[in-house]
Amino acid sequence: MTIEPRFPQMHDDQGRAPEDLLVVDVDGFEGPLDLLLSLAREQKVDLARISILSLAEQFLVFVEAARVKRLEIAADYLVMAAWLAYLKSRLLLPDEADDDQPTGDELAAALAFRLRRLEAMRGAASRLMNRNRLGQQVFARGAPEATITNRHNQFTASLYDLLEAYASQRQRNFVQFVTITKRKVFSLQEARALLVKLIGETVDWTPIDSYLIDYLSTPETRATAMASSLSASLELVREGHIELRQTSVFSPLYVRRKPEKQSTGPDSHA
């Protein structure tokens, strides 16, 4: 049995010395188990009768050679090397009576089993791939006839949905109707009542706008309020309750409560 430093012969076709490619070689294997299996195959015997001891020694020599050359070896190879070194010692030393530990032969058998199982799975993979495969040697209908799918819509709606839809659109119409009828219009009567209330005891000339502005919250109502207020104020002037004054065309309109006759005294000839 050989224990010389030998390297797997997978890369010799590159024409380079195997040692130069050691790291590459390790990369070429799928882990330490793959490397062991490759080394085992070189024993050219049935895997069931493989010498695990010599396999372990080959692996250790391989790793040692790499370390001598200071080449980086992946950690799992080093772990395997350590385990194989342990296995070697168990195989070479007589078993102790201590039964807690598996014997060297049991450990070796376990490793042999793993190698055989990996080999078996490789064989299975190639047998599988060599079968007549669909799309490679065996074919499905090239132009399958699509099944025509007739879709039926199954509509769903609850009674609540229905009633809610009816109620909300009817309501929408009510609101529309109400908005139109409730459009804010200052009637003359309203404007007059407002003016009387607002002018109150004021006797100074005041622009009519300032009386109204606080009440004219929206631009839409402004025009109608102004128009009604002007009409109402003219009426109040005619009735002698207030006085109006405008200095020029389009300038602010001033309003004041008409002074009481008794308080104006002698100059009451207006």
Partner 1 sequence: MPDLFLATAGDNVMNLAPEDQRLQLRMVEALLFAAREPLSEAELGARLPDGVDIVALLKELQSAYAGRGVTLRHTDGRWAFRTADDLGFLLQHEVSEEKRLSRAALETLSIIAYHQPVTRAEIEEIRGVSISRGTLDALMEAGWVRLRGRRKSPGRPVTYGTSPDFLDHFGLESIKDLPGLAELKGAGLLDATIPAGLASPDPDDRADLTEDEEPLDFGDLEEVEPLAGA
> Tokens 């772990």, residue?
79
Cα angle vertex 142, ends 137, 148, to 5°? 145
Options 129, 180, 249, 270; binder of partner 1; rule CB under 8 A: 129
How far is Cα 257 from Cα 240, in angstroms, rounded to an integer? 9
- Interaction mask 18-37, partner 1, x per CB under 8 A: ------------xxxxx---
Options 92, 94, 174, 247; binder of partner 1; rule CB under 8 A: 174
Looking only at residues 76 through 105 of this chain, which bind partner 1 when binding is defined by CB under 8 A? 76
- Asked if 215 touches partner 1 (CB under 8 A), the answer is no
C-beta of residue 261 within 8 angstroms of C-beta of residue 268: yes
Options 16, 122, 184, 245; binder of partner 1; rule CB under 8 A: 122
Options 153, 218, 262, 263; binder of partner 1; rule CB under 8 A: 153
What does each C-alpha distance from 27 to 22, 41, 121, 129 come to in angstroms?
9, 19, 21, 25
- Asked if 75 touches partner 1 (CB under 8 A), the answer is no
Q: Which stretch binds partner 1 (CB under 8 A): 88-96, 115-123, 195-203, 205-213?
A: 115-123
Options 177, 184, 202, 210; binder of partner 1; rule CB under 8 A: 177
Q: Which stretch binds partner 1 (CB under 8 A): 167-175, 196-204, 233-241, 245-253?
A: 167-175
- Asked if 116 touches partner 1 (CB under 8 A), the answer is yes
- Asked if 185 touches partner 1 (CB under 8 A), the answer is no
**CA-CA-CA-CA torsion sign (107, 109, 113, 116):** positive
How far is Cα 47 from Cα 29, in angstroms, rounded to an integer? 19
- For residue 189, report the phi and psi dihedrals to the nearest 5 degrees: -60, -45
How far is Cα 75 from Cα 84, in angstroms, rounded to an integer? 14
Q: Which is nearer to partner 1, 126 or 262 (CB)?
A: 126
How far is Cα 120 from Cα 103, in angstroms, rounded to an integer? 25
- For residue 95, report the phi and psi dihedrals to the nearest 5 degrees: -65, 140
Q: Which stretch binds partner 1 (CB under 8 A): 11-19, 84-92, 131-139, 231-239?
A: 131-139
- Asked if 11 touches partner 1 (CB under 8 A), the answer is no
Q: Please state the closest distance from residue 34 (CB atom) to partner 1, in A.
A: 7
Q: What is the CA 17 to chain-centroid distance, rounded?
A: 54
How far is Cα 256 from Cα 270, in angstroms, rounded to an integer? 15
Q: Which is nearer to partner 1, 15 or 135 (CB)?
A: 135
Q: Site residues (CB under 8 A) for partner 1?
A: 30-34, 76, 110, 113-114, 116-118, 120-129, 131-159, 161-178
